Structure 1
Amino acid sequence: MTAPYSPDDRQKVVAKLPPELRRELKVRAAELDTDIQDAVAAGVTSWLALESHHTVDTSGGSSFSTYLPTGLYEELKRACKPRKVSYNQGMAQSIRLWLDSKSSPRPAPVRTTGACRLVFGNQKGGVGKTSVSAGVAQALAESGKRVLLIDFDPQGHLTRQLGYAMLDIDEASLAKHMLGDAESDLQALLVPIKGGDFEDRLWLLPACKDAFLLDAKLATTRAVRIKETALERVMAELEREFDYIILDCPPSLGYTMDTALYYGRTREGEKPRKSGIVIVVQAEDTSGDAYDMLADQMDDLCDDLKIEIEVMGFVVNLYDARNGFIATSSLQSWQNMEEPVLGVVPELKEQREAVRRKEPLLAYEPDCEQAQILRKIARRIQG
């Protein structure tokens, strides 16, 4: 059958799907490195060629949107009528058909070096490290991974953007644990991030204002190598509970950043590109200057401690081609770097709205362009 539509010309379609089916679709698409819209289009095309398909339970359905090639949407609606099924049922059957034809390719990994550790950083503030690290964490959790998101910045933007309160300065905190000033269980500080198809697989370790003191106290400690190993020591127990641990780091080149970089190094026995640093930049010159300073810090740390820190790649955030030559030429410069560009995240209103509403982006607007790109970044990180 020749499809009477172009795969490059798409239109937005909305259906109501049960959460379990929607979640399974996102996990399988991530495992197969396939865009959700391509998976749904393939399922609909296969469904149209069938005479019938068993009914799918669509009770409890909620809104799901994607983009189908123009013309395929009309084909689906026309095919539903003689089969006496609703459009929502037709979509559900199509997705179920695609899932049943695509078995999961990945057995559960056996980890010998703890969770994969991703450090999101850049010395320059305001580039959007917080929104990118949070979005990638949500996307990884959507794909079935257990993810811990750590607000490692004393400003606490990540904690507040997700609608949580910072830890009180008199309470136990990550910084107090790192300095040996807390006896409680670090796991007790974790809070689940609710909403979206990542629920029950994503947790937050909130920030505390006492983290402003961390650099100064690490600088004055006399214990050998405690500056670099302080974070790793307290995270050892938590690593058993997660597939990924993501750090949203401060725009700083101090000892706090050293501990994060050391934590994200490639450990003995760990495969390449499982842990490392993701550098968030913008398409302008000051991001490049900040990266040069961060690269110098990483080089010094690697030379001093004889370690390797993998640069996973760059994320060019808040990109707007309407800014002209400055933006386009800067983007080209990042794309010419030795390390890959994992994704280019556009400047769109959905992220600002999610921050204003204090909701995770992939729960507030899961099908927006930014959310789709963050999922692609997560897939590239997973390899």
Structure 2
Amino acid sequence: MGKIIAVANQKGGVGKTTTCANLGICLAKEGKKVLLIDADSQGSLTISMGYPQPDQLEVSLATILGKVIKEEEIMPTEGILHHEEGIDILPGNIELSGLEVSLVNVMSREQILKQYVSLIKDKYDYIIIDCMPSLSTLTINVLSCADSVMIPVQAAYLPVKGLEQLIKTISKVKRHLNPKIEIEGILITMVDGRTNYAKDITTMLREAYGRNIKIFENHIPMSVRAQEASTQGMSIFRHDPKGKVAQAYQTLTEEVIGSEKWCKQY
């Protein structure tokens, strides 16, 4: 049975999509079967996986969730695309915005995505879901079906201060919708190694949240190469395999797998 990791932050531009793509592909490199789900109407993860026109795809996450709402049959592989670097992706596009509106009148609207994921999760070791940068109904759907949440945070003051609302929302979801959900950890991204600023931000995070939430030891450095990889529809491991960003995501992947092994032992 696969582990479901939501990658969430209500602030955009903090490296959520980059983290989803590179963590997923690195897990695949380690022999894991991985599905990425793009739950953002902007379709950024879909674009970064080599599908530059997500709104033109015939089947997307919105299509699948629409079938769940209408109680129509869904084939296990329906809508899932295969990326050449060894992962599967269920794309997202602008149709998710319309679906969000229609969810208002749906019974158990926070559980629609969970119903779909329950059909496919046994086929994967990891399902990684890229959330939209808001605490929307669709984001609540993602949190309702996830085992854990990874929170990428840009190494800057304001993004760190915005964490409190997200953590409160995760706590509410845990109390009312999904008792098993945990915070995988806070991942500090877009770190400028030329300054001590990131160290100050890390200290701030540890003082504010470190007692109750894991702060990943590994930081993701700021790099133009990571942005270039996304625009070319490939991972950093193919675009710049020996670079510092690839090394950082490799270390992050080892941390994620290591935490799984530890949990299984205990």
TM over 0.5: yes
d(CA) in 1 for partners of 2:228 and 2:9? 24
d(CA) in 1 for partners of 2:180 and 2:74? 32
d(CA) in 2 for partners of 1:306 and 1:204? 24
Aligned-pair distance for 1:229?
1.4
Structure 1 letter corresponding to 2:227: R
Question: Are 1:161 and 1:356, in contact at CA under 8 Å, matched by a contact in 2?
Answer: yes
Partner of 2:118: 236
Partner of 1:49: none
Aligned-pair distance for 1:173?
2.7
Alignment counterpart, residue 217 of structure 1, candidates 102, 124, 134: 102
Alignment counterpart, residue 278 of structure 1, candidates 141, 150, 159: 150
Structure 2 letter corresponding to 1:347: M
2:186 is aligned with 1:314 = yes
2:145 is aligned with 1:263 = yes
Residues 161 and 143 from structure 1, CA distance in 2 versus in 1: closer, same or farther, beyond 3 angstroms?
A: same
Matched position secondary structure for 1:163: coil
Residues 124 and 375 from structure 1, CA distance in 2 versus in 1: closer, same or farther, beyond 3 angstroms?
A: same
Aligned-pair distance for 1:236?
1.9
2:103 is aligned with 1:189 = no
2:123 is aligned with 1:252 = no
Alignment counterpart, residue 350 of structure 1, candidates 210, 219, 225: 225
Alignment counterpart, residue 208 of structure 1, candidates 71, 81, 93: 93
Question: Are 1:276 and 1:312, in contact at CA under 8 Å, matched by a contact in 2?
Answer: yes
Partner of 2:22: 135
Q: How many residues align?
A: 251
Partner of 1:46: none
Matched position secondary structure for 2:237: helix
Structure 2 letter corresponding to 1:331: T
- Please, which moves more after superposition, 176-185 or 255-264? 176-185
d(CA) in 1 for partners of 2:206 and 2:177? 30
Alignment counterpart, residue 175 of structure 2, candidates 293, 303, 309: 303
2:261 is aligned with 1:369 = no
Partner of 2:261: none
Residues 351 and 313 from structure 1, CA distance in 2 versus in 1: closer, same or farther, beyond 3 angstroms?
A: same
5+ residue gaps, structure 2, are 259-266
After superposition, the CA RMSD in angstroms is 2.0
Larger CA Rg, structure 1 vs 2: 1
d(CA) in 1 for partners of 2:116 and 2:150? 22
Instruction: Determine which structure has greater relative contact order: mean sequence separation of CA pairs < 8 Å that are 6+ residues apart, divided by chain length.
Output: 2
- What's the % identity of the aligned pairs? 27
Matched position secondary structure for 1:177: helix
CA shift digits 1:331-358 (9 cap, x unpaired): 2222442322222011123212212323
CA shift digits 1:39-94 (9 cap, x unpaired): xxxxxxxxxxxxxxxxxxxxxxxxxxxxxxxxxxxxxxxxxxxxxxxxxxxxxxxx
Partner of 1:173: 60
Residues 354 and 165 from structure 1, CA distance in 2 versus in 1: closer, same or farther, beyond 3 angstroms?
A: closer
Residues 293 and 145 from structure 1, CA distance in 2 versus in 1: closer, same or farther, beyond 3 angstroms?
A: same
d(CA) in 2 for partners of 1:370 and 1:170? 30
Structure 1 letter corresponding to 2:15: G
Structure 1 letter corresponding to 2:188: V
Residues 134 and 121 from structure 1, CA distance in 2 versus in 1: closer, same or farther, beyond 3 angstroms?
A: same
Question: Are 1:169 and 1:210, in contact at CA under 8 Å, matched by a contact in 2?
Answer: no
d(CA) in 2 for partners of 1:254 and 1:132? 21
Matched position secondary structure for 1:340: coil
CA shift digits 1:269-312 (9 cap, x unpaired): xxxxxx30000001112222321111111122222236132111
d(CA) in 2 for partners of 1:306 and 1:154? 24
Question: Are 2:144 and 2:177, in contact at CA under 8 Å, matched by a contact in 1?
Answer: no
d(CA) in 1 for partners of 2:163 and 2:98? 25
Question: Are 1:169 and 1:209, in contact at CA under 8 Å, matched by a contact in 2?
Answer: no
User: What TM-score, normalized by structure 2, do the two folds share?
Assistant: 0.87
Question: Are 1:172 and 1:184, in contact at CA under 8 Å, matched by a contact in 2?
Answer: no
Question: Are 2:38 and 2:61, in contact at CA under 8 Å, matched by a contact in 1?
Answer: no
- Please, which moves more after superposition, 278-287 or 355-364? 355-364
Matches within 5 A, 1:101-120: 114-120=1-7
Partner of 1:340: 214
5+ residue gaps, structure 1, are 1-113, 265-274
d(CA) in 1 for partners of 2:75 and 2:13? 33
d(CA) in 2 for partners of 1:218 and 1:230? 9
Partner of 1:12: none
